Structure 1
Amino acid sequence: MPHRPEIVCICGSTRFLDQIRAANRDLTFSGVIVLAPGEADVSITDEQKAALGALHLRKIDLADRIMVVNPGGYIGESTSREVAYARAAGKPISFTDPAQDVS
């Protein structure tokens, strides 16, 4: 049976969409299956935002590890929740920029 590629879930604020896309591209070209945040080009309702947040937690469930895109060390409320969820699930976590410990 062939080796399954690593699955990485990218987490981070959608304000860093360009950096998230770059991380997605770099990981994909290195042979990784990437699960990325849903992109909302237009404003979305609170209900839609909550649904996307719940869906992203399921992506974390599928992933072997998560990569947090956090330029300047920034980690917002949603990303903090995702990091805590991944930690509770025992997923390895990496950061694109040095970050303080996120509980």
Structure 2
Amino acid sequence: MSYPQLLTPEEKLAQGKAGLGIRDVVVLCGSMRFAADMAEVAIEQSVIGALVLKPDCNMKEPHPLWADPVEAEALKARLDDQHKQKIRLADRVIVVGDYIGTSTRSEIAYARELGKPIRYTHPEVAP
């Protein structure tokens, strides 16, 4: 008696997205110094039909939610984890900006590990 092959989590996600009619999810990565550029890329991608995921908390700007340095450090770790979740959900990645820092470099490495296609708005900075 043969048993059906179990699906990997990635295959389950792909089937779930297909079943829901979600056909193109893109995640934007990059330094928050390029927040305005990310907003523009998000608009462009939305217009062509992509569901866009991006960082939404610019911790470089003052805000009461990250005013306390201890809380800010814990929040940064949670936001980094959330962004990696967004990368797992995405079909492809767009790296925005002409500078790649430590966090973005880590996100690119993670996306590569997962086999996600990566495009750069400034290809000259691709690691």
| TM-score bin, normalised by smaller chain | 0.7 to 0.9
Corresponding residue number in structure 1 for 2:23 = 5
SS of equivalent residue, structure 1 residue 9: strand
TM-score, normalization: structure 1? Answer: 0.88
| Greater RCO, 1 or 2 (C-alpha within 8 Å, sep 6+) | 1
Q: Is the 8 A contact 1:69 1:97 kept in 2?
A: yes
Identity %: 38
Q: Which structure is higher in helix share?
A: 2
Question: What corresponds to 2:120 in structure 1?
Answer: 95
Structure 1, unaligned stretches of length 5 or more? Answer: none
- Unpaired runs of 5+ residues, structure 2, are 1-18, 67-71
SS at match of 2:55: coil
Q: What is the Cα-based RMSD across aligned positions, in Å?
A: 1.7
Count of residues in Structure 1 that have an aligned counterpart in Structure 2: 100
Q: Give the alignment's TM-score, normalised by structure 2.
A: 0.72
Question: What is the aligned counterpart of 2:82 among 49, 52, 55?
Answer: 55
Per the alignment, in what secondary structure is the counterpart of residue 38 of structure 1? coil
Structure 1 stretches of 4+ moved >4 Å:
none
CA change 1:62–1:42 in 2 (3 A) is same
CA-CA distance at 1:10 after TM superposition:
0.3
Question: 8 Å contact 2:120–2:126 — kept in the other structure?
Answer: no
- Kindly indicate whether the alpha-carbon contact (under 8 Å) linking 1:38 and 1:52 is maintained by their aligned counterparts in 2: no
Pair member with larger Rg = 2
